[in-house]
Structure 1
Amino acid sequence: MINVPRGTQDLLPGETEKWQYVEEKFKALCHTYNYHEIRTPIFEHTELFQRGVGDTTDIVQKEMYTFTDRGERSLTLRPEGTASVVRSFVQHKLFGHPTQPTKLFYIGPMFRYERPQQGRMRQFVQFGVEALGSADPAIDAEVIGLAMNLYRSLGLKSLKLVINSLGDVESRNNHRHALVEHFKPHIHEFCSDCQIRLEKNPLRILDCKKDKDHPAMQTAPSILDYLNDESQAYFAQVKSYLDHMGIDYVVDKNLVRGLDYYNHTAFEIMSDADGFGAITTLSGGGRYNGLVEDLGGPETPGIGFALSVERLLMALDAEKIDLPIDQALDGYVVAMGDNAVKKAVEIVYNLRQAGIQVDKDYQGKKFKAQFKAADRLKAKFVIVLGEDELAKQVVSVKDMTTGDQQEIPIASIATEMKQLIQGGKA
C-alpha cells in the first residue's frame, strides 16, 4: 500500500464540502470588496522567491521545495502567494490599467518543507488578497477589515487582531542599527541562524522561535521608538480607520512577520479559542512598498494578507461551529422491473438536464434496499417507478419529510419536481 507523502493529506467527501463552503464564502466576500481572482503557476523560477521573499528568511533558507528541470533551470514550488502575484502584476503591466489600485485575490496550494503538525502541512492551501497601487492608510484598514469580516461571517468570535508598524526605510534603518548594537554583546548565546541574521537582517532575530525567551529579546529596542514623523502619522491613520470601523486591535511592538518585504503596517489575526493549540495565528499580512520595484516594476505600493484554510477549519472546530452545508439530494429514483429500470435512466438524465440533483441505484438492489439508499443519501423526495406507474406514464413521488405521496406525469416531471423542491404543490 502506498500512502500520501508526509505533510500532505487527502480530503474526502464529507470534508471537501467544508472547503467548498469557505472557498465560496471567501470569493463572495472578495466580490463585495471589488477584488478579482488571479491564478498563478504552482511553480516559479527560484530567483523570484529569493528576491521577493528574502534570502535571509527561513522559507528561502530551509523550507522551499526546489528542483532543477531538464533544461537545467532552478524552479521552486511556491511557498507563498504574494511574490507570484506581484511577478504577474509586473509581467503583465497591470500597473498601466486606468483603474487603480489593482485589487486581486487568490486561492491555491502552497508548499513548505517543515515539520508537519496540526494545522501546518507541507502542502497547504492559502486564501490571499493583494491591493497594489495605493499608499492610502485606508486601504490598509480595508484589507484588515476584509480578513476580519471573513472570520466573523463564518461565526468565529474568539479573535484577536494584533498590529504593528515596521516604518519606512529610514525608520527601519535606524531600528536596524539599534538592534545590531543591542544583540551584538549576546549574539554568541543565540542560535546559529540568529548569528547570521545579526548583520544580514537583525529584525529576523525578533521572529526566532528558538531564542524567543532569551532575556535580550525582552529588552530589544522597539521599532515604535524609531518611527519618524511620517511613519508615526501613517500608523496613527491606520489605527484611526480601524477605530472608525469598530475593529478592536492590540499593538504589539515585537510583531515583525516572517518575510523580508514588509514595511509600515504589519498585522496578524489570532484565535483565542480554548483547545485551538499553542500556535494561535490564523492569518497575517502587511504593507510591502518596494516589492514591485525589487521584481522589476515601477514604484508601486502594496498591501495584502494570506490565511491558511487548514487553520481556519481548525478554529471553526475549536469554537464548535457547524457550517450550514446541505448534503441532501433533491431526489432519488427507485425503479422496479426491467422496463422501469430503463425508463429510470431517461428520467434521471432529464431531471439532471433541468438542474435537479438526483441519483439512482446502479447495483441491482431490491425495492426496500433502494429506499434505504435514498434515506442514507438524505433524499428529500423519492421518485418511484414500477410497471404500474410506467403503464400510466406517471411516477409516484414521496416527500421524505412529511410522508406525503402523489402521482405526477412523466411528461412534466422536471417542471413539477422543481415546484415540489421549492416548496410548492405539483
Structure 2
Amino acid sequence: MSMSAPRGTVDILPKDSKKWQFVEKGIKEICNNYNYEEIRTPLFEHTEVFQRGVGDSTDIVQKEMYTFEDRGGRSLTLRPEGTAAVSRAFVENKLYGDPNQPVKLYYFAQMFRYERPQKGRMRQLNQFGVEVLGSADPAVDAEVIDLAMTVYKNLGLKSLRLVINSLGDKESRTNHRNALVEHFTPHKEELCEDCRTRLTQNPLRVLDCKKDREHPAMKTAPSILDYLNEESKNYFEKVKTFLTAMGIEYIVDPNLVRGLDYYNHTAFEIMSDAEGFGAITTLAGGGRYNGLIEELGGPSTPGIGFGMGLERLLMALEAENVEIPIDHELDCYLVAVGEKTEETAVKIVHELRAKGIQVDKDYQNRKMKGQFKAADRLQAKYVLILGEDELERQVVNVKSMQTGEQVEVPITTLVEEMQGKLQGGKES
C-alpha cells in the first residue's frame, strides 16, 4: 500500500497556503472591480459535457481525462477544464434569460488531467478563469485580456508578454482550413501520428504541435491572417485598438491557435519571460468561442474566456523574486498557569476571538517556560499571563513581546484594552 500522494498531486501545507490565500483574495478583488461574479460548478460532469464542450479531437478528451462509470452505469469525468462546465451551467440554469447581459463569471476550480507531471504542470491543478457569455462586442475581448493582465501586474509581475491572434469567423476558418490541408498533405507521412490524425479532423491544431514545430512545412504554412474576410479583419483591428487605448502592449502571432472548431476571432496567451521560469512559459490562455453554447443545447450565445494556472502564477512570482506580504504574527497568546485558571482562560480566549482578535493558548499542559517558547514560535505580539494570583485578583498581565513592557489589566476590560493596543493605541 502506498501512503504517499498520487503522482502528479501535491499537498499545499500551512506554510504555503497563506500565499495562495493572498493571491486568491487579490484576484477576487479585481473581479469585483470588473463586475464579474463567482460561479462554482461540480467537480465532475457527465462525460458528454467535455466531449462536446472541449472536442473529441483534442488531447484533453482523447488522452487526458479521468473518466469512470458510476453505479448506475453513467459515464462521468473529473473536470479537466472550466469553460465547458460553466457553459453547461449557463444553459441548464437559463442564465441567458438574466436581464443583466452579458453574464460575466469567474471561478476558482481544481482540474484533473492525466498528463506527464512536470514543474508547474500537475495532474491535479488549480485554475482561475473567467467567462463572459452574451456579447459579441470586441471591447469585451479587450476587457477579458485586460483583466488577466491586471491580475499579473497587480501581483507584481513585470516580465510579461501578451500574444494575440485572430482565428476569424466561420468563413475565414473554413478557407484557412482548406489551405492547411492542401499545404500539409504532401508532407503527411513526415508528420507525427497525432498530426496525421489532426490533418483530417482539425488541421488548425497541426500548427500547435510540439513535436513537429521545427518541420520546414510549419515555417511556410498558410497564415490565418491572410484568409480573414473584411468582417474578421475589422473585428481584430477593433480589439487591437482597444488594447492600445488601455496601454496594453501585445505581439501578433499568426501561429497562435485555439484548436476547437467553435473557437473564432480573438485568441491570446500570456507568457512569462522571467529568467529561470522554465521551458513552458505560458501563464494563461483564452479566446472567443461563439458556438459552444449551441453545442451544449442552448441558444445562440457568443462567449469569451481564459484559464490561468495558479501553480504557474506562484512560480512566476518566485522567478521574479516578488515577495508576497504574509503576516505570520499572532495577535495574542494566553499563558495560563495552574489548574484553577483553565476555565477562565478558555472564557477569555473565546471572548477575544468573538471580537475579531487572533488568539491561541496552550493545549499541551506545558509549564510556563514552554508556553512562552510557543508564543515566541507563533510570533505573538502580546502574551497574556493568567496565574492563580492573577485569577484571584481578576487581572491579566499583558506583556508586549516587542518592548518587554508588562502591565496589569482587569479581566473585565481586557477585550477593550487589547482592541486598542492592536489598533495602534499606545501601550498603557
- If the TM-score is normalised by the length of the shorter chain, which range does it land in? over 0.9
Q: List aligned pairs for 1:218-257, cutoff 5 A.
A: 218-257=219-258
Q: How much has 1:340 moved relative to structure 2? A: 2.2
Q: Secondary structure at the match of 1:144?
A: helix
Q: Quote the residue 2:277 is aligned against.
A: 276
More off after superposition, 256-265 vs 381-390: 256-265
Contact kept, 8 Å, 2:243 with 2:249, in 1: the verdict is yes
Correspondence for 1:309? 310
Whether 1:403 and 2:404 are equivalent positions in the alignment is yes
Query: What are the Cα deviations for residues 127-186 of structure 1, in whole angstroms up to 9, with x where unaligned?
Result: 000011111111101000000000111111111100000000000000000000000000
Distance, in Å, in 1 between the alignment partners of 2:226 and 2:358 is 61
Cα distance between partner residues in 2 of 1:16 and 1:269: 25
C-alpha distance in 2, partners of 1:157/1:392?
Answer: 58
Cα contact 2:176–2:224 (8 A) shared by 1: yes
Sequence identity (%): 69
Task: Compare 397-406 and 35-44 and name the one that shifted more.
Answer: 397-406
Offset of residue 257 of structure 1: 2.8
Separation in structure 1 between the aligned mates of residue 151 and residue 129 of structure 2, nearest angstrom: 12
Give the secondary structure class of the aligned counterpart of 2:143: helix
- Matched letter for residue 51 of structure 1: R
Match of residue 10 from structure 1: 11
Answer yes or no: is the 8 Å Cα contact 1:168–1:264 preserved in 2. Answer: yes
1:330 match: secondary structure: strand
Give the match's secondary structure for 1:70.
coil
Q: 1:385 to 1:259 in 2, by over 3 A?
A: farther
CA RMSD of aligned residues (A): 1.0
Matches within 5 A, 1:202-221: 202-221=203-222
- Alpha-carbon distance between aligned partners in 2 of 1:69 and 1:110, rounded to the nearest angstrom: 19
SS of corresponding position for 1:380:
strand
1:42 aligns with 2:43: yes
Work out whether 1:349 is the aligned partner of 2:350: yes
SS of aligned partner of 1:3 = coil
SS in 2 for 1:264: strand
Is it true that 1:83 corresponds to 2:84 in the alignment? Answer: yes
CA contact (8 A) 2:204 2:259 kept: no
- Whether the 8 Å CA contact 2:130–2:307 is kept in 1: the answer is yes
Aligned residues: 426
Paired residues of 2:202 and 2:259 also in contact (CA < 8 A): no
Distance in 2 (alpha carbons) for counterparts of 1:19 and 1:339: 41
Bigger CA drift: 37-46 or 388-397?
388-397
SS in 2 for 1:278: coil
Q: Which shows bigger deviation, 332-341 or 115-124?
A: 332-341
Structure 1: distance between partners of 2:13 and 2:259: 32
Residue 111, structure 1, aligned to residue 112, structure 2 = yes
Q: Does residue 125 in structure 1 map to residue 154 in structure 2?
A: no
| C-alpha contact 2:262 2:291 (8 A) present in aligned 1 | yes
Letter in 2 for 1:173: T
| Offset, 1:322 | 1.6
SS in 2 for 1:17: helix
- Report the Cα offset of residue 260 of structure 1: 4.2
Letter in 1 for 2:87: V
1:34 to partner: Cα distance:
0.4
Q: After TM superposition, give the deviation of residue 258 of structure 1 in Å.
A: 4.6
Could you say what secondary structure the match of 1:283 adopts?
strand
1:319 to partner: Cα distance: 0.7
- Equivalent residue number for residue 159 of structure 1: 160
For residues 257-296 of structure 1, the aligned pairs below 5 Å read 257-296=258-297
Mapped contact 1:54–1:261 kept (Cα < 8 A): no
Amino acid paired to 1:322: E
Q: Quick one: structure 1 residues 140 and 8, their matched pair in 2 at CA, closer, same or farther if it must change by over 3 Å?
A: same
- Equivalent-residue separation in structure 2 for 1:121 and 1:170 (angstroms): 37
Q: Secondary structure at the match of 1:395?
A: strand
Structure 1 residue aligned with 2:395: 394
CA deviation string 1:200-238 (max 9, x = no partner): 110010111111111111111110110000000000000
Q: Distance in 1 between matches of 2:133 and 2:125?
A: 25
* Separation in 2, partners of 1:49, 1:337: 62
Please tell me whether the aligned partners of residues 53 and 260 of structure 1 are also in contact (alpha carbons under 8 angstroms).
no
Find the aligned partners of 1:325 and 1:123 in 2 and give their Cα distance: 25
Unpaired stretches in structure 1, ≥5 consecutive residues: none
SS in 1 for 2:15: coil
**Aligned AA for 2:331?**
D
More moved, 127-136 vs 332-341: 332-341
- Structure 2 residue aligned with 1:369: 370
Tell me by how many angstroms 1:401 deviates: 1.8
Q: Deviations over 1:50-70 (max 9, x none)?
A: 111111111011101111111
| Structure 1 CA distance for aligned equivalents of residues 418 and 393 of structure 2 | 18
With normalisation by structure 1, the TM-score equals 0.98
Contact 2:104 2:133 in 1 (8 A): yes
Give how far 1:81 is off.
Answer: 0.2
Quick one: which amino acid aligns to residue 189 of structure 1?
E
Q: Which sits farther off after the overlay, 382-391 or 194-203? A: 382-391
How far apart, CA to CA, are the structure 2 residues paired with 1:221 and 1:77? Answer: 37
* Rounded Cα–Cα distance in structure 2 between residues aligned with 1:259 and 1:181: 20
Letter in 2 for 1:15: D
* Equivalent in the alignment of 1:51: 52
Could you tell me how far 1:109 is from its partner in structure 2? Answer: 0.3
Name the aligned partner's letter for residue 102 of structure 2: P
CA–CA separation in structure 2 for the residues paired with 1:210 and 1:3 = 33
8 Å contact 2:108–2:129 — kept in the other structure?
A: yes
Structure 1 residue 391, shift from structure 2 partner: 2.0
Aligned partner of residue 306 in structure 1, secondary structure: strand
Q: CA deviation at 1:372?
A: 1.1
Aligned to 1:24: 25
Secondary structure at 2:325 match in 1: coil
**For structure 1, which segment, 379-388 or 178-187, has the greater mean C-alpha deviation from structure 2 after superposition?**
379-388
SS at match of 1:323: coil
Task: Please state whether the residue corresponding to 2:306 is helix, strand or coil.
Answer: strand
Distance 1:198 1:244 in 2: 39
